[in-house]
Amino acid sequence: MPLIDKATFDELKEMSGADFINELIDTFLEDSPKLIEEIRTSLVINNADAFRRAAHSVKSNAATFGAGQLAELAKELERLGKENRLLETGDKLKALEEAFASVRDELRDLKS
């Protein structure tokens, strides 16, 4: 099963224009590692609000590209941040990173 929903991706491509989709993909690939890093830092210093906000952005960006699984994982983290339950993060952050790595590979192939 592909990690990126084709219909969502095509709609995005249509809305932004074919030439612009590459710029969007690059932005996503550049920003996501920073946001994941922010989630990690916020976890270390126990800042639930920053944790939630960064997870929210990952979720929003993943949904924009139709990366449903990645969005779900980020949403889970966002919820933990919202409910101030950072200690329950466990291996969820690692799962998020792995999901992002797979999405990244697929997006690179989708670049035209």
Partner 1 sequence: MKTSHEPGQMLVVDDNRLNRLLLTRALEQQGHYVSNAENGRIAMEMLRSRRCDVLLLDIDMPAMNGFEVLEALLTDNQLRDIPVIMTSASDELDRVVKCIEMGAEDYLVKPLNPIFLKARVNASLEKKRLRDEQRKLFHTFATPEVAEQLLREGFSLGGKYVTASVMFADIRSFTSISENQEPAATIEMLNDYFALMFDAITENHGTVNQMEGDGFMAIFGAPVQEMNHRVLAVNAALKMIDQLNLFNAERARQKKKAIRIGIGIASGSVIAGYTGTQHRATYTCVGDAVNAAARIEDYTKIVGRPLLIDQNTSEGLSKEVRMEALGPVMFKGKQQPIQVFAVS
Query: Can you give the binding site for partner 1, defined by CB under 8 A?
Result: 8, 11-12, 14-17, 20, 23-24, 27-28, 31, 53, 56-57, 59-61, 63-64, 66, 75
Give the residue with the Cβ less far from partner 1, 14 or 98: 14
Least gap, CB of 81 to partner 1 (angstroms): 11
Give the residue with the Cβ less far from partner 1, 31 or 94: 31
Least gap, CB of 64 to partner 1 (angstroms): 5
Specify the long-range contacts of residues 103-109, CB closer than 8 Å, at least 24 apart: 103/3, 103/4, 103/62, 103/65, 103/67, 103/70, 104/29, 104/32, 106/2, 106/3, 106/4, 107/4, 107/25, 107/28, 107/29, 107/65, 108/25, 108/29
